[in-house]
Structure 1
Amino acid sequence: MTILKFPAIRARQSEAHTVLSFAALASDLQKFAVIERVARDATGGLSGFQRPQIAGHIREIRDYLEKPEAILPNPIVVAFTNNVDISDEGSDGRCTVEIDIDAGPPGMVVDGQQRLTALGQVFEKDFQVFVSAIICRDDEELRRQFVLINNTRPLPKSLIYELLPTVTGLPRRLGDRSMAADIAARLNYDETSSLRGQVYQHTNPGGLIRDTAIQRVIINSLSDGVMRELIREPDGADLSFKLISDFYEAVQYVFKDEWRGHTPKTSRLVHGAGIMSLGYVMEILVLLDGARTFDDFAKGLACLVDNTAWTSGEWKFAENDKRHWKSVQNVNRDITTLAQYLVSIVRADVRRRRNQNGSEGSPQKIAER
């Protein structure tokens, strides 16, 4: 059995957690801690949590550490769920940490992955660093600590959001986004999704549509739209997933030439402004037209075909407000303007079809569909 031992100090912070601090050589640290980068398996299952390494940042740290006067006062934060014991603990918090590395490194780096990677590239000296260790109950607790520790640091928000569905017991402001993040991830990986593989996430960097844009559509709907009611059903998450998948399938069908083969730079349809503004169109079609399926949404979107400028021309928002198609940006002001424009056209079309259909288009009939 291979055991690494370090004299440590235990901090009395929480009855539910064990928090320790000790110093270790970089070579030893790499024996008991690993950097597990966020990834998904073939079925969409999430593993790991660290963002991709930043080569430029690592190179700068390495170049600095190679200098004789270099210091690294910030600790590497490592979390353990097993194969670590505390012995010889005294009343003053002094103790010995024993780490069993027979089965491989049992610790996961929670904070300091770029520093640790840089340390591994310094060959002239074996740098000694501080380690802050957290002993967690299980993997879920480990992920929770990663989210809470890094949420106030400059990590990409989309990475934090992608991890949220795997964590419970979070602050309200993060918990509210968890459902949206879960549905967005399902839209990206479920075989039945119309957006499969098209959403940009840290586990899918080839996606074109920003996950934060899709999440905003879902959050708005969960707060004030149709999903607020759907999510209360026993299969509410499934119903919400199908609704938004059917809607964007209809969008891709109705505007196939403006969607297929485009990027946010060449089409405002797959741009954050287009995705989010169309979310309001989905809500109005559900509310006024009783839309629920692909066919319903495709019929409701048809009126927009000759009134949009997703890839060329100009938007005619008002008599004195005409803009080049590319001038619409992913800012609240432009998203609101575009949404109001699209919704006004859809509202008028719904009224027109009601008048044509007579009693079949009455509010009562629409509500019964």
Structure 2
Amino acid sequence: MTDPHWLVRRALKVLQSDETPLYLFTLAAEEVDLVADVARIGRDEAGKLIGYQRPEKQKHVKQIQEYLDSESPVFPNGLILALPPEVKFKSSRGPGTSDGLAIAGTLEIPIALDDDGPRPAWIVDGQQRSLALARTKNRRLPVPVAGFVTQNLEVQREQFLRVNTVQPLPTGLVTELLPEISRVPSARMATRQLPSALVDMLNHDVDSPFRGLIRRASTATGEKKAAVVTDTSLVEAIRESIESPSGVLFPYRNIATGSTDTEGIRRVLIAYWGAVRQTFPEAWGKPATKSRLTGGVGIRAMGRLMDRVMTHVRDDDPDAQQQAAAELALVAEKCRWTGGVWEDLGLPWDDLQNTPRHISALSNYLVRTYLAERTGRR
């Protein structure tokens, strides 16, 4: 007799990888909630990233549920699950059980003992569908499932990023997950891996002027009001400086060996942005509606100014922040972060938008003003 706490389903074992077994099988709609749960992205008490899934989209879930509740739904959109190592696969007997690509058999999956108990599997793709399936009146609707066996969170996150390429994930969610995996799904994503890790450092380092100010996908609801800096803008500002040969952070990477002086980069970022906070205290830490400095356009433009300013400052100098502040003083009087009109640009402070055109215009204005003032000071 089958153990009542195990779900047994006919399945195919797909012969792709010995390290990560892959199974194709079917669950009834009501069984999905017994087997799998959603790994919501967040932070634990120590600040370590947990999970990887975006928040529930209630409108989307409701639309799926309404279709599932109709008379004859056709639901080919399967789920992808990360199954626990405890699953058991038994191949069927006979000469026709394998065609060299897959093996037919039965899969035994542990299920939750009660409503509040932990689920053995995690949903890697299809969280909105799974929520709708849990609520549909069609309780026995068959649902196609692909399940791979792993408890390795990095593997789950990697697969999560790979399967969500047709309908792009929110950029902030992707960038926050990238430092947590070693095999990045694409070259484009790889360029954001180090900058994202540095942004995470800036958000938690006790010496960072950005501490607690950066909004990430994992930011708790109660902390979002104070998190006024969008992580994607800061990631992009750092990425530009690291990737461009003219960027001040470019020399900290050894392309030949693949190594990076992250401590040196940390010193540059903390010194420079600490000087920004010191120079513009009235504009720091405010939402973009009250200050364009901490909005996307300000972060990106000041990031480009960093490449000019910090070439004149030694990152290992104990007085680096004060030196950077002295350099920023050259442009401080021309800045209109919280009121007034930007000279030459002819734009009121709150007309600046986080668009490529305005980012370029503001960046060029700040760099041009800085170089002119610095040349005139000699």
Question: 1:142-153 residue pairs with structure 2 within 5 A?
Answer: 142-153=156-167
Query: Structure 2 matches for 1:353-368, cutoff 5 A?
Result: 353=377, 355=378
Post-superposition CA distance 1:94-146 (Å, at most 9, x none): 12111134784221101110111112222563432111112237222121111
2:33: which partner in 1? Answer: 30
The code of the aligned residue for 2:231 comes to D
| Aligned twin of 1:201 | 216
Cα gap change, 1:234 to 1:143, in 2 (>3 Å) = closer
Query: Aligned to 1:307, what secondary structure does the other structure show?
Result: coil
User: How many angstroms does 1:9 deviate by?
Assistant: 1.9
1:217 to 215, 237, 240: 237
Question: 1:40 corresponds to which residue?
Answer: 43
Deviations 1:192-226 (A, max 9, x none): 32101111111116121111111111111111222
Q: Of residues 250, 258, 262 in structure 2, which corresponds to 1:228?
A: 250
| 173-182 or 85-94: bigger deviation | 85-94
Structure 1: gaps of 5 or more residues: 356-369
- Residue 259 of structure 1 aligns to a residue whose secondary structure is coil
User: 2:188 maps to which residue?
Assistant: 173
- Choose the corresponding residue for 2:120, options 106, 122, 132: 106
Q: Is the 8 A contact 1:250 1:295 kept in 2?
A: yes
State whether residues 20 and 149 of structure 2, in contact with CA within 8 Å, keep that contact through their aligned partners in structure 1. Answer: yes
**Aligned: 1:295 with 2:322:** yes
Asked if 1:248 is matched to 2:258, the reply is no
Residue 146 (structure 2) aligned to one of 119, 132, 137: 132
CA apart distance, 1:167 = 0.5
Deviation at 1:42, TM superposition (A): 2.4
**2:337 maps to what in 1?**
310
**8 Å Cα contact 2:173-2:216 kept in structure 1:** yes
What SS class does the counterpart of residue 135 from structure 2 fall into? coil
2:210 and 2:278 mapped to 1: Cα distance? Answer: 12
Normalised to the residue count of structure 1, the TM-score between the two structures is 0.88
Q: Deviations over 1:65-86 (max 9, x none)?
A: 2222223210011012422222
SS for the counterpart of 2:346 is strand
Q: For residues 245 and 126 of structure 1, do their structure 2 counterparts lie closer, same or farther at Cα, with a shift above 3 Å needed?
A: farther
Query: Are 1:200 and 1:210, in contact at CA under 8 Å, matched by a contact in 2?
Result: yes
For the residues of structure 2 that align with 1:350 and 1:214, how far apart are their CA atoms?
26
Maintained 8 Å contact 1:87/1:95: yes
Identity of aligned residues (%): 28
**CA deviation map 1:7-28 (0-9, x unaligned):** 0123344455432211111222
CA 1:20/1:178 → structure 2, altered by over 3 Å: closer, same or farther?
same
The question of whether the paired residues in 1 share the 8 Å contact of 2:29 and 2:138 is answered with no
**3-state SS of paired residue (2:282):** helix
Distance in 2 (CA, whole Å) between partners of 1:46 and 1:114 is 22
SS in 1 for 2:182: coil
The amino acid across from 2:336 in the alignment is: A
Number of the residue aligned with 1:360: none
RMSD: 2.2
Distance change >3 Å, CA 244–CA 81, structure 1 → 2: farther
Residues 277-307 of structure 1: CA distance to partner in whole angstroms, max 9, x if unpaired?
1011111012245576221221111122220
Inter-partner Cα distance in structure 2 for 1:227 and 1:245: 13
1:58 and 2:66 matched: no
Change (3 A) 1:44 1:21: same
Q: Counterpart of 2:333 in 1: which secondary structure?
A: helix
1:137 and 1:203, CA in 2 relative to 1: closer, same or farther beyond 3 A?
Answer: closer
In the alignment, does 2:101 pair up with 1:96?
no
- Conserved? CA contact 1:32–1:104, under 8 Å: no
SS in 1 for 2:239: helix
Q: 1:288 to 1:348 in 2, by over 3 A?
A: farther
Per-residue Cα deviation, 1:243-275 (whole angstroms, up to 9, x for no partner): 212222221221111224x21122211111110
1:34-90: CA deviation from partner (whole Å, max 9, x where unpaired) = 101001112220110000101111122222222222232100110124222221153
CA contact (8 A) 1:315 1:324 kept: yes
Structure 2 residue ranges without an equivalent (≥5): none
Please identify, of 60-69 and 214-223, the stretch whose mean Cα deviation from structure 2 is larger: 60-69
Q: Are the aligned partners of 1:40 and 1:46 in contact in 2 as well (CA < 8 Å)?
A: yes
Give distance in 2, aligned partners of 1:160 and 1:53: 16
Q: After the TM superposition, which of the residue ranges 5-14 and 329-338 deviates more from structure 2?
A: 5-14
User: When the two structures are aligned, how many residues end up with a matched partner?
Assistant: 350
Q: Which has the higher helix share?
A: 1
Read off the aligned partner of 1:221 and give its amino acid letter: S
Q: Is the 1:288–1:350 contact (alpha carbons within 8 Å) kept by the matching residues of 2?
A: no
TM-score normalised by structure 2 residue count:
0.86
Matched residue SS, 1:153: coil
